[in-house]
Amino acid sequence: MVEDCPTCGHHFERDHGYWIGAMIVATAFSVVGFLTVFVGGLAVTWPDVPWNVLLLVTLVVTGVVPAITYSSARTIWVAMDLAVRPLERHEVERADQNLKRT
């Protein structure tokens, strides 16, 4: 992911530790993946649930989903943050400087 928006010059990482919010979004995706596979697996196979297979598939999905959705999670996090906390004056000035540099 680029550090600054090529269109408006916005510097994405607004604070130290900014991307923790994106990790929370990715974790939410992981929880949704877990619940979908686990509850779906239970619903489809009940009452003879293959517990070992369900455990393996659930673990793989829970681990893979945040890895493949992390860039989307970052984009969603930036949009959520900007909706709640608009740019401050110094950030607008920095964006203008970024655009002049390119």
**Contacts to Zn ion by CB under 5 A:** 5, 7-8, 10
Quick one: 67 or 89, whose CB is closer to Zn ion? 89
CB of 16 to Zn ion, least distance (A): 21
Structure-token pair, residue 66? 């945040």
Instruction: Give the Cα-Cα-Cα angle 20, 74, 65 (nearest 5 degrees).
Output: 90
Give exposure, 48-85, as e/b (b: 16+ Cβ within 10 Å): eeeeeebeeebeeebeebbeebbeebbebbbeebeeee
CB of 45 to Zn ion, least distance (A): 47
As a whole number of angstroms, the distance between CA 30 and CA 81 comes to 20
Quick one: 32 or 82, whose CB is closer to Zn ion? 82
SS3 of residue 24 by DSSP: helix
CB of 79 to Zn ion, least distance (A): 11
Quick one: 57 or 92, whose CB is closer to Zn ion? 92
Quick one: 11 or 34, whose CB is closer to Zn ion? 11
CB of 50 to Zn ion, least distance (A): 48
